[in-house]
Amino acid sequence: MTQSSLPKPSIAIVGYGSQGRAHALNLRDSGFDVTVGLRPGGPTEAKAKADGFTVKAPAEAVKEADLVAVLTPDMVQRKVYADALAPNMKQGACLLFAHGLNVHFGMIAPREDLDVILVAPKGPGALVRREYEIGRGVPCIWAVHQDRSGKAKQLALAYADGLGGARANLIETTFKEETETDLFGEQAVLCGGASSLVQAGFEVLVEAGYQPEIAYYEVLHELKLIVDLFYEGGITRMLEFVSETAQYGDYVSGPRVIDASVKERMRDVLKDIQDGTFTRNWVAEHEAGLPNYNRFKQADLDHPIEVVGKQLRAKMVWLDNSPKEQKEAA
């Protein structure tokens, strides 16, 4: 399918956070007619207007749109859909998500007349925008949940192409696969696994009498060097650039730390994701006002590695520590 044969639907972007802004800007620059749907007076309304977009309340923004992209946080999507989108989207329009959680777990049951698709760039919004601007793109995965028009696939590919994803790589998936692998990656490796591993390593060194500053550099600061090598060429590239001593330590000690019991607990995490336990717990937590979430978060913020790290990073003049940039990167 050539780019010239792809449709050019009018698009309403609902939400203007990191991803929402990147999607809106890239799609507009790719020739799409883009309107932004935001709560009047909300914190991002002025930003979207400053970027030159027509901004309307979500219920108004979606009325004439051929495609509506839901890019608000997961836990508010159900209410946004029920209150603003479902009653106002035109017949036969297309509903797009960048994460399949609400649809896959049945919190949103899209109208029967709608096409329902997913397009998820594999990178934060700032990167999606930056790569587009320099003529490249971030890989996107895409899926079709409901195809009423017979053109849902073409709409997904058109949207992904408009983001710049076709310049890199487009991979077909399903709502189930995207949702479950995304949640697992965050919990077991990228966020939960990595942060817990770093904290445990720091604690072991400090409890053994080593300086906290040295421990910070060894288990957190230098992790970026390894992750960059992973990113550039996988484990193969990492092994090419570390010493033979580090390689030998990798081979004999890595499996002692991440052993078969860890994989079993990862399988338990995956099971909770697959059967909906995690999502039910997260919904209940959100509806209760986030008491455990806030307690867990504060514990991470108060961890000694954060106290030491803040002092050390203040002396790293090469870092841009602005809160906006940090949040964009996340």
- Tell me how many degrees the CA angle 96-17-146 measures, rounded to the nearest 5: 10
CA distance 207 to 214: 13
Query: Which among 99, 145, 221, 303 is annotated as catalytic?
Result: 99
Cα torsion through 45, 50, 52, 53, rounded to 10 = -10
Residue positions forming the annotated binding site for NADP(+): 16-19, 39, 44, 125
The answer to whether 103 and 86 are in contact (CB under 8 A) is no
Strand partners, 11: 34, 67
The two structure tokens encoding residue 130: 């930056």
Point out the annotated binding site for substrate. 243
Structure tokens at 278: 């995690």
Q: Report d(CA 173, CA 118) in Å as an integer.
A: 9
Residue whose C-alpha is closest to residue 273's, from 176, 173, 142, 143: 176
Q: How far is CA 280 from CA 75, 101, 275, in A?
A: 11, 11, 10
Residues 190 and 127: beta-carbon distance below 8 Å: no
Catalytic site residue 99? yes
Q: Ramachandran region of residue 210, left (φ > 0), alpha (ψ -120 to 50) or beta?
A: beta
Q: Which residues are annotated as a binding site?
A: 16-19, 39, 44, 125, 182, 186, 218, 222, 243
Find the largest Cα–Cα distance for the chain.
67
DSSP designation for 134: T
- Residue position matching structure tokens 């650039």: 241
CA distance 194 to 287: 28
Cα(213)–Cα(35) distance, integer angstroms: 49
Annotated binding site for Mg(2+): 182, 186, 218, 222
Burial of residue 88, with CB atoms counted within 10 A of its CB: 0-12 exposed, 13-18 middle, 19 or more buried: buried
Beta strands in 124-223 (DSSP E): 140-146, 170-172
Whether the CB-CB separation of 67 and 90 falls below 8 Å is answered with no
| Catalytic positions, written as ranges | 99
